[in-house]
């Protein structure tokens, strides 16, 4: 029991100070908006803790990478990411009102996209979201994400778990990973969190209307 308490405390420290193996900590200013054509889907991605707009592991046909402060994964960094994501997608929507938007986030970035969907689904249509290793993921299947046990440390809007997605199609992906599923066990972090999503970073792997859950390699229907 004492060993588990120590492990949990260590995980809380990792989540709080944003230290993950093989990731540097980078604070960023506002992202320069890339002038994207109005044809096709506008794909925008948000990296996780320690990422930068030019090094977030996402691949494929992407028009915009979001830069935001990723040093400390907490409510403040999440809010900064949500605000920057909102600025970029709404600027693009103003330029291309009929264009579909596909957005995705990983880890802290998934928390950013999650919060954006919750706050904007009533005023922004023709959009879908992909949440990879979302700390705000609400079980079942599995348990809630890590933003629940550490909610008192990280603060709103990152704290807690929910499925407040309205009518926006959302695809959630969680593979044997404590960050998005407490029941995976603290010992799965950081190895599984960093190594279990090789195909999911490829944005061409996700369609524009997926509304589903992938949990530990199995498909589940959406339940929101």
What count of other Cβ atoms lies within 10 Å of the Cβ of residue 166?
Answer: 14
Look at residue 196 and tell me whether its pLDDT is greater than 60: yes
The span from the CA of 125 to the CA of 210, in Å, is 15
User: Where in 94-169 does DSSP place strands (E)?
Assistant: 101-106, 127-132
Q: How far is CA 91 from CA 54, 64, 172, 188, 213, in A?
A: 20, 12, 26, 39, 30
Nearest-CA neighbor of 194 among 64, 20, 17, 5? 20
Are 51 and 57 in contact, with CB atoms under 8 Å apart?
Answer: yes
Q: Count the helices and strands in the chain (H runs, E runs).
A: 5, 7
User: What tokens does 145 get?
Assistant: 């994400």
Look at residue 10 and tell me whether its pLDDT is greater than 70: no
For the chain, what's the residue count? Answer: 224
pLDDT confidence of 30, banded at 50, 70, 90? low
pLDDT confidence of 199, banded at 50, 70, 90? very high
Q: Which residues are bridge partners to 222 per DSSP?
A: none
Look at residue 212 and tell me whether its pLDDT is greater than 80: yes
């Amino acid at each position: 029991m004492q060993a588990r308490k120590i492990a949990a405390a260590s995980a809380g420290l990792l989540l709080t100070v944003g230290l993950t193996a093989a990731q540097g900590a980078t604070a960023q200013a506002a992202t320069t908006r890339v002038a994207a054509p109005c044809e096709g889907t506008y794909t925008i991605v948000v990296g996780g803790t320690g990422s930068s707009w030019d090094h977030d592991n996402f691949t494929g046909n992407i028009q915009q990478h979001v830069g935001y402060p990723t040093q400390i994964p907490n409510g403040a960094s999440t809010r900064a990411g949500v605000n920057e994501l909102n600025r970029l997608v709404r600027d693009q929507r103003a330029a291309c009102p009929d264009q579909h938007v596909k957005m995705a986030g990983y880890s802290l970035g998934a928390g950013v996209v999650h919060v954006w969907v919750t706050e904007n689904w009533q005023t922004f249509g023709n959009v879908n979201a992909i949440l990879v290793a979302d700390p705000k993921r609400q079980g079942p299947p599995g348990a809630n994400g890590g933003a629940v046990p550490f909610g008192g440390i990280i603060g709103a809007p990152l704290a807690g778990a929910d499925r407040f997605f309205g009518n926006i199609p959302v695809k959630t992906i969680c593979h044997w990973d404590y960050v998005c599923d407490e029941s995976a066990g603290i010992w799965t972090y950081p190895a599984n969190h960093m190594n279990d999503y090789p195909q999911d970073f490829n944005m061409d792997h996700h369609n524009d209307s997926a509304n589903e859950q992938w949990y530990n390699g199995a498909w589940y229907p959406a339940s929101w």
